[in-house]
Amino acid sequence: YGSHDRDMRPVLGSTAFHPEEEEFRRCLKYYFMSPCDKFRAKGRKPFKLMLQVIKILIVTIQLILFGLSNQMVVTFKEENTITFKHLFLKNYADGSDDTHAVYTQTDVYDHIFHAVENYLAIPSETIGRYAYVHPDNANQSALMLCQQYYRKGRIDPANDTFNIDPKVITECFGVDPPEKISTPSELRRKHPDLALDRSYKNFTLKFYKLINVTIDFRL
């Protein structure tokens, strides 16, 4: 009789959860549909897709505008850099950045004074309009001509020896542009020595212990 025993536990029908499964299947299918398929299935307009397209367009336009603006800034900077090189570097030629140099003390003074004189003559010489920028510190001049050198230095090339005190001293000379800008005709009528302040020519470099020379100004 054991072979005829039956399992008396209730058996769930195979279709007990069929409606729920079918609904879940439809939801999953709809969820993974493309916006076009959703529009065909329920006539729902793809608002999210349209929103993403609008966002992409806005970001693209912003990137284009930023690139154009940045290009204008870079071009302006490069053109002004070339202009200033021609104004303040004596005998400068385009493309000579690697070879432009001075070799004598006289050339050093000539190039320094050339830069200072062109700075003072900017309002009457340049084609573009540039304005002097005065520092916030009242004790500081608009143009600062500075040299850095060792406190003590002695070099003997014959014996290939040197004696240097490593303490660095900075010495500066201030130059201020004239308060009243003279026209070219007024400058021609004035005596050359009175037209501009020439006191900067008293600036003396200590070549035997010199580290560097800087000319600082803003326009």
pLDDT tens per residue across span 137-177: 777 888 999 999 998 888 887 787 888 888 999 999 988 88
Burial of 177 (0-12, 13-18, 19+ CB in 10 A): buried
Q: Which of 207, 147, 203 is nearest to 175 (CA)?
A: 203
What is the distance between the alpha carbons of residues 73 and 103, in angstroms, rounded to a whole number? 36
Output Rg (C-alpha) for the chain, integer angstroms: 40
The answer to whether the CB of 168 falls within 8 A of the CB of 211 is yes
The answer to whether the CB of 45 falls within 8 A of the CB of 39 is yes
110 has pLDDT over 60: yes
> Tokens 């030629």 — which residue?
93
Sign of CA dihedral 71, 74, 75, 76: positive
Structure tokens at 120: 């003072």
What is the distance between the alpha carbons of residues 167 and 11, in angstroms, rounded to a whole number? 99
Question: What pTM was computed for the model?
Answer: 0.63
Q: What is the rounded average pLDDT for all residues in the chain? A: 81
Residue 180: the pLDDT is: 63
- End-to-end distance of the chain based on CA atoms, in angstroms? 113
What is the distance between the alpha carbons of residues 196 and 192, in angstroms, rounded to a whole number? 7
Residue 194: the pLDDT is: 44
The larger pLDDT score, comparing residue 62 to residue 46, is at 62
Spell out the domain ranges in the chain: 35-87, 95-187+195-217
